[in-house]
Every structure is written in C-alpha cells, then in structure tokens.
Structure 1
Amino acid sequence: MQATTITHSPLGKKLKKPITLTMPDTKNAADEKLQEYIISSLSWKMRRLVPFTFNNNSTIELAKHLLRHRTGSPGTLYQYMYGVHRFCKWVNTQPDQLIESCLDQDGDPKPKALAKYSRLLDDFVGCLQAEGLAPGTVSNHVKGVKALFRVNRLKLELPYSLSKRTVYSDRAPTPEELQNLIDIADLRQKVIISMLALGGFRIGTLVKLQYRHVRRDLERLNTPIHIHVEAEITKGKYHDYDTFLSQEAADYLRAYMETRRQGTDKIPPENIHETSPLIRNQQCKHAMPVTPAAIYQLVHKLYVKANLITRKPLGRRYDLRAHSLRKFFRTQMAALGVDRDYIEYMMGHTISTYHDIKMKGIEFLRGIYLASGLSIKPKTRVSKIDALKEIIRAWGMNPEDILTKNALTQPHRTVIDRSQIENNQIHQLSIALKQHLLTELRENPNE
C-alpha cells in the first residue's frame, strides 16, 4: 500500500481540498490505468468517493469491471459508486463488510443474507422515492448496488422492476432568456451557448468538434457555416449528419478563434490547426478539448447567474438544463416553418427519410436553414422584411413558407453576404405578395 495526496484534477485544475488516501501498490500498466480511471472519474465530482473506492476491494472490483468489460465511462463509475456509497451509509456498513456478510466460509452465497439485503434495497428505494428523487437517479443507485454484488459473484435482485416514468420536464428557453445568457457570458461561453442553440448539437458532439469541421466556411466568411458530424464522433451510435451555424454564432466563433491565436493572460498564443479542439479547456496550458461535465456546469451556472433557475438539492431536476438549448433549436425551427424531417436530420436523429434528405445535398439544406432566419437576438426594430411579412400575414399567407419554398427551388444557391440574404428575401416576398394581389383582383374585379 502507498500513501498518496491528490492536489489537482485530471485536467490540471487545483482542488479546493487535497485528497489524501492509501492506494494499493501497482504491479503493471493495467493497475496504473485502473487507478487513473478511478481518480479521474471521481475526484472532480465528489472527493469522498475516491478514498471510499480505494479502501474496499469490492469497489475496486466494480471499477475494474466497468473499465475492462464495459465502456469505461467516468459518468457510469460516478453514478454507480455514488449509489453504493449512499446504500452503505444507509445500512451503516462498508462495501467489503456487505459482501463478506453474504458469503459463507467456503465463499458460497448465503441465501438468507441475500434475501435480507434484497428487502433492505427495497426499503432503500422507498426512502429515495420519498425524498423526491427522479426515477433515473433512483434507478442508477440501484444499478450501482446490484453491480457491486454481481462483480463479486453474488446476485441481488428486487422483486419488481423500477418505474421509469417521467416526473419532470425541461423546457426550451425563450429568445429573451437566451439573450440574457449571452449578455452575461464571456466570449467562450457565448460560443458554447450559441452553438448549442443555433446548431442543435448534443453536448457530447459539441466537445468533440475540431477546427477542421468549420475551417472552410469560417475562413471564407461563408454563412451559414456548414458542419458535417461524422458517425465516428458518436462512436457509431448515430448516423453522420449535417447542421449549420448562423451569422450570430459564426461571429462569436470567429472572434473566439482569433483570441486563442493571440493568447490571453492565462493561455499562451495557440497555433490553430485542423485537429485543434473547437472549444478548448481553459485550465490547461496545452489545447485540450472541454469535457461534457464542464459544459453542463458552465451552462447551469449561467442559468443561476441570470436568475432563470434557483438551486435545488442533489438529485432534483431543473426545468432549464444544458439540453434545453438543443430544445430551443427544435422549437424555434418548427415555429419558423421548417419541416419536421429537416429539423430532425439537422439534430442528428434517425428518421425514415434520412437518406432522401441526405441526397438533396449540402446547399439545399443550407438554403432551408438560411430561410428559417433562426436567431437568438430579439428584433429591436421593424425591418423592411418584418414589415413585409406582417403585410403578407394580413392577406392570409405564411411568409416563412414562402421563403422555405424558395430555398427548395434553389438547392445549389449559396448566399454568403448579409445584404444579399435580406435583398433576396425581400425580392421573394414582394413577388409572392404581388401574385396574390393580382389573383385577388382577377377573382374579385368589382370589389
């Protein structure tokens, strides 16, 4: 055994309180990797789980199982170990004592002891539910306890299946609420908020994007910026797909990349290349990609700072979360008249028309996105386009449908200048209004 003091997180951030613990001696590279997995998964989230895990052979076996035979997800290890920690605290024992009490002298399972802990696990679930924890949180706690028994050659079951009903719902922020976030955010945070809201990215996808994904359109000042998301980014879980970033997000991103090239007080000048992370970690001197956990925390803190949510106890859900920004993309695109299948495709969802949409080409989809006029900034004055849209609505037509149909008829058109965009939209709306008025005059000449 060796005494160790952990002073920094895996990404180099100094911990508020160092973690002192005793770890088993490492015999090979596999042992070193296992220790690194435990520390990197638990130290940043809940420091007391690190010594709790290393002080028990049974929990080390659980971590080893997740690393070698599952995905090795840091999030899964945290969720499982947190559930084991709470259960052991609730029954007033340690994991090793828990496992030993269920084995006889020959190492065989003791049915009566397992039946006892099965009843206790059932009571534990009841206590968690009484606290008002979300079903997903309760389920993760139970999975952790059951996994602890399973990897130590024991089987612990509940006499029923846990309910997975939804007891909460998140919502999409309004454009005004989103603008409040943008107003209080720094440049890097503006990039994250705008890309999630205007590009519809999953958090896990956003953190894996590299400069090569935007370089062509960003450097050529093309708008909207096309981003092709490869299936490899999601480990083959989803199809590859295409989405876009509006002028608003592109401006923030361009300024952010220039700031990185020049350097700041904390970060030296960076040589941006094809494989540079699109959004980097702020704590490391070397360019490392930001983690999903950092994105969740960043967005949550902005919600709190903007007084859009109030703090809740651990395990409770908020109606505004990081995922809500992705929901903003869906709801706003739908409200702007974009067909549902195009929205689902740009969000990376699997749909029956996937191949049909993909075959239409990038410029076709760019036109659809462009015609929607998706934006965060609320309009402060009535522009010519807005005035024309209101007139068209007064005549019983939908201006967004007109612009979308125009984009469909010009699948290979690429508009890269804001004035060109506005002039083209005014032209199409004017033609549609004139045609409608002429039709009205022909059908009702005496009115």
Structure 2
Amino acid sequence: MPIKTYLDLLEDSDVKHWYENLRRGSKVHGDLSLKRLKAFCKWSGLSPKEIVSRAKESIKDFQHLVEDYVSYLEREGKSPAYIGNLLKPIRSWLEYNHAPRLASIKITNSGVNITTLEERVPTKEELARIFRFLKPRERVAAALLAFAGLRIEVLGNYDGTDGLVLGDLPELVIGEKTISYKKVPTMIIVRPTLSKAGHRYFTFLSSEGCDYLKEYLESRMSNGERLTEKSPVISPYRSTEKSFLYATKVGDLIRTGI
C-alpha cells in the first residue's frame, strides 16, 4: 500500500492494535514508534505485513536488510542514539507478530552521545544573565527547571492535557490580589501522572524561584485571571483550547526567551 503519512499505517488493523498497545504505556512512545516504523517502511519499500513475512521467510536475509538500513543512516550522518531508536520499533513490531528476533546489530560509536559532547552546565553568571533577559512566564518556566530540577513534561505533558497546577505547591497561598508562601524554599509535589517513573515525589523551589513565580502569578491576577488550586502554574497560549502547554511548547518558550 502507498504510505504518505505515518497515520496511513493504522489502516492495517494489526498495526493499529500494536500502536494502541504501545500507547497505553506511553502516548509519546506509541506515536514515535509508529513514525519510526513508517520511516523503515518508506526506506525499504515494505509494508508492515511484508516486514513480518520477510522475517518469517528468512530472518537472515531480513537481518541483512536492517543492517543495510543502519549503514545508510550512518552515511547520512545520523547519530548513534537516533539510529538505535529507529531500530527499536522494528524489533517491537516483529515481536508483537511472533516473528523471529533480529540478532544484535552494531552501531558505530554507540556508546557516545554525540549530541551532548559540547554541552555543559551554565555558570552562575551565565544563568543570571539568562534570567535577566527572560519575560516573567519564561523566567518561571526556566526557574522550575533550573532551581527545582523539574522535567519539561512536568510543566505541560505531551498532549497538553495535564501539567503542574498551583495545588501542587501546598505551601503557596493565593490571596485576593497577592501571592505568598507559608515556607520558602517552597515544596512542589509531582503527581504520578507527571512523573517519568510513575510515582509521586517532591522537590523544592528556591527563594529566587519563589520571587519569580510570585511576580508572574500576581501579574496574571492583575490582568483579571482568577487563580485557583486547579490553575496551571504556566498558563497556556490564549489561542489554544488545552488547559496546559504542550511539552514541546514549554521548551520553545524557554529557548525563545534565551
């Protein structure tokens, strides 16, 4: 079948069941797996059903095909981690269909994270300079990551359906026109639905971060917003129907400010 987008793969009922099964564990993982399987289908010219039949006919020949795929990706300059991630849904799809397993496939420099080789933690001076140039909402988002150690997906999840709310800061007090704290640094509780490990944990926002958050929330109040325990800590864009920012939008928010 001609494949134009990764969603075309869902016309195959077996693919749809595999995809929905993955998505029950993680929406992000399910969507990425479908896109990555589509990438292999496009390169190889095989449909998902043909991938399974090829593997069952001769796992050796199919192994060689996948090894050729890896060689192609390396010539294209793709990172080892990127290539490894593209292979995972192929293995998953074969396993789901009870096809023979692929043998280990070596990837050049697989133990080296090339994308982070030049990365480093900013100095205090650099961090202070970044905060000075950020707008209030951007500043709070950056402070929650830098000072409280939160993941971007805690502020707003993959599809914008959940995120950190004011009720997750039990020591924050919402007044009529002002924000105050029972204790500083103030506690942040991360609910299981926002935790990568799937369990509840807590962290703390520093005094500087508390000041940024207070300023930001009070500006929202002065603009007429009624804050409650269910209000998102980082408000979504006005044009969106979602209650929270998408995780990608949170990252864009900070990068744009920097």
By the TM > 0.5 criterion, same fold?
Answer: yes
Contact 1:217 1:225 in 2 (8 A): no
TM norm structure 1: 0.47
Number of residue pairs matched? Answer: 239
Counterpart CA distance in 1 for 2:37 and 2:168 is: 41
Contact 2:169 2:189 in 1 (8 A): no
Match of 1:129 in 2: 74
Match of 1:87 in 2: 40
Please report the RMSD computed on the Cα atoms of aligned residues, expressed in angstroms.
3.1
Residue 149 of structure 1 aligns with an amino acid whose one-letter code is L
How much does 1:215 deviate? 5.5
Q: Which has the higher contact order (CA 8 A, sep 6+)?
A: 2
Residue 211 of structure 2 aligns with an amino acid whose one-letter code is D
Match of 2:195 in 1: 234
How much does 1:283 deviate? 4.5
Task: Give 3-state SS (helix, strand or coil) of 2:187's partner.
Answer: strand
Query: 1:79 and 1:91, CA in 2 relative to 1: closer, same or farther beyond 3 A?
Result: same
Counterpart CA distance in 1 for 2:46 and 2:190 is: 47
Match of 2:120 in 1: 171
Counterpart CA distance in 2 for 1:253 and 1:130 is: 47
Counterpart CA distance in 2 for 1:159 and 1:152 is: 19
Check if 1:102 corresponds to 2:54.
yes
Note the residue ranges of structure 1 that are not aligned, 5 or more in a row.
1-46, 104-108, 264-268, 307-447
Counterpart CA distance in 2 for 1:201 and 1:89 is: 37
Task: Give 3-state SS (helix, strand or coil) of 2:120's partner.
Answer: coil
Partner of residue 253 from structure 2, selected from 292, 298, 301: 298
Counterpart CA distance in 2 for 1:228 and 1:137 is: 33
Contact 1:61 1:152 in 2 (8 A): no
Counterpart CA distance in 2 for 1:221 and 1:235 is: 27
Check if 1:197 corresponds to 2:149.
no
Match of 1:48 in 2: 5
Query: 1:142 and 1:191, CA in 2 relative to 1: closer, same or farther beyond 3 A?
Result: same
Counterpart CA distance in 2 for 1:48 and 1:187 is: 39
Residue deviations 1:112-151, cap 9 Å, x none? 2x32221111121222233333332212110111222222
How much does 1:293 deviate? 2.5
Counterpart CA distance in 2 for 1:136 and 1:177 is: 29
TM norm structure 2: 0.75
Counterpart CA distance in 2 for 1:173 and 1:280 is: 27
Residue 245 of structure 1 aligns with an amino acid whose one-letter code is S
Radius of gyration: which is bigger?
A: 1
Residue deviations 1:73-98, cap 9 Å, x none? 22212321232122122212333443
Structure-to-structure mapping, 1:249-288, within 5 angstroms: 249-263=209-223, 269-283=224-238, 288=243
How much does 1:235 deviate? 6.7
Task: Give 3-state SS (helix, strand or coil) of 1:220's partner.
Answer: strand
Note the residue ranges of structure 2 that are not aligned, 5 or more in a row.
157-162, 174-178
Contact 2:9 2:16 in 1 (8 A): yes
Residue 210 of structure 2 aligns with an amino acid whose one-letter code is A
How much does 1:243 deviate? 1.7
Counterpart CA distance in 2 for 1:262 and 1:287 is: 22
Counterpart CA distance in 1 for 2:79 and 2:167 is: 39
Give me the identity figure in percent: 20
Counterpart CA distance in 2 for 1:182 and 1:224 is: 20
Match of 1:59 in 2: 15
Contact 2:81 2:113 in 1 (8 A): no
Residue 32 of structure 2 aligns with an amino acid whose one-letter code is Q
Residue deviations 1:195-214, cap 9 Å, x none? 21122222233443221233
